[in-house]
Structure 1
Amino acid sequence: MGLSGLAGAVAVTLVHESVRRFYPNAPRMDILGMRAIAKGLRYVGQTPPPRDQLHTWSLVGDIISNGLYYSLTGGGKKAIWRGTILGALAGVGGVALPGPMGLGTAPSNRTKQTQALTIGYYLLAGVVAGGVAKWLRKVKR
């Protein structure tokens, strides 16, 4: 995972975790992560951990998976564009995919505002990742 990917992952996680504490229509991607982990554990015959531990696992998993994903921005002159596209795709996926994956739709699809915020958060993370990649490229010169 590159530094730019980590920056994007931390950005999206910080926004999610901050806004959800005071805005009732905020996306709850942490809940989707908890459901995915619990579902996977049950599938292999394990009992999911308590909710607070599951939440921690979800945040760590989000940072790792989003960090790897946003590392795809790479370097180069078009890093911000790649980050923007990756962010938009992640946001649309965050709205469209949880239902078909059996994780429920409410955490990211509850209202039009929730949908827009979900897309916006991931788009922001892509721009951050692309911006950091571009900055790193300049620093390495």
Structure 2
Amino acid sequence: MGKLTNLISGLAGAVVLNILHESLKNKDSGMPRIDRMGEEALQKSLGYLGTGIEDQHNLYLATLAGDIAGNAVYYSLIGGRNSLIWPKAITLGLAAGIGAVTLPKPMGLDPKPIARNEKATALTIAYYLTGALATAAVLKLFNKHL
């Protein structure tokens, strides 16, 4: 499988992750808010450059675009040898989810939007795993038809 196939598959997984999060984030107050974590990270990064995004809607859109692009590239790493796609998807999906809930605090970010309770923590990990599994499924479809 080529790099373009891997990237397209990674994009599919990133879109699944974001649709899942966006669809459920307002279901109740215990849901993970990955968007808020991303907004804080983006504003903090831009702050180091002496700038920021004032408009909340533009901040949301920039964060969403960055999240999809970053996750697409990350999930594209699942591609490669066909026999390893599922183990790589599970490993990378769990690594992304666990990293999402454990790394914010050491990075100077507020972990509460995604790890404020057991439900949010578990769902955050599940979302990232689901995106990785979606990537693997698309890779398998490409492999079947190429």
Normalization by structure 1: what TM-score?
0.95
CA contact under 8 A between 1:80 and 1:129: conserved in structure 2?
no
Range moving further from structure 2, 65-74 or 46-55? 46-55
Q: Distance in 2 between matches of 1:71 and 1:25?
A: 30
Structure 1, gaps ≥5 residues long: none
Number of residue pairs matched? 140
Matched residue SS, 2:145: helix
Matches within 5 A, 1:32-111: 32-75=37-80, 76-111=82-117
CA contact under 8 A between 1:77 and 1:134: conserved in structure 2?
no
Q: Distance in 1 between matches of 2:92 and 2:46?
A: 29
Distance 1:123 1:47, change over 3 A: closer
Q: Distance in 2 between matches of 1:77 and 1:6?
A: 21
Pairwise CA distance, 1:30: 0.6
The aligned amino acid for 1:96 is T
CA contact under 8 A between 1:36 and 1:103: conserved in structure 2?
yes
Instruction: Tell me whether 1:6 sits opposite 2:11 in the alignment.
Output: yes
Q: Percent identity over the alignment?
A: 39
Structure 2, gaps ≥5 residues long: none
- For residues 25-82 of structure 1, give each alpha carbon's deviation from its aligned partner in whole angstroms, at most 9, with x where no partner exists: 1111111111111111111111323111101001000000000000001041221221
CA contact under 8 A between 1:80 and 1:134: conserved in structure 2?
no
Q: Distance in 2 between matches of 1:106 and 1:88?
A: 19
